[in-house]
Amino acid sequence: MQQQQNNQQQGAMQQPPQVLTTKDSLYLNDMLSWNLLAMKKAYFAAGHCQDAELKAEINKCGEMHQRHYEQILSHLNPDNPAPTTM
């Protein structure tokens, strides 16, 4: 399994392709949707949590998904990066 991971890392693209296929576009749309949904669910759960420590951890999870969402958007439109504030 370690060898398989090394092979995948060696074949990583340094630059994205100039043209996205329909399949690429659909996958990017899915990634955005997954991160947006996870972010919304985390913030909803944190809003209903009474344990302060658990609430903070759930909020950190929501923030992580928000960063991923914004990072994907910034890669799709590098001339107009997504805002990094909440």
pLDDT given at position 84: 58
Model confidence over 2-58: pLDDT tens digits? 555 554 566 777 887 788 899 988 999 999 999 999 999 999 999 999 999 999 999
pLDDT given at position 15: 80
pLDDT given at position 75: 82
Tokens 């100039």 — which residue?
Answer: 18
Q: Is residue 11 part of a domain?
A: no
70 pLDDT exceeds 70? yes
Q: Is residue 3 part of a domain?
A: no
Task: Count the domains in the chain.
Answer: 1
Q: In terms of residue numbers, what domain contains 69?
A: 20-86
Query: Which residues, in sequence order, are CB contacts of 17 under 8 Å at separation 6+?
Result: 24
Residue with the larger pLDDT of the pair 78 and 55: 55
Other residues' Cβ atoms within 10 Å of the Cβ of residue 66: 20
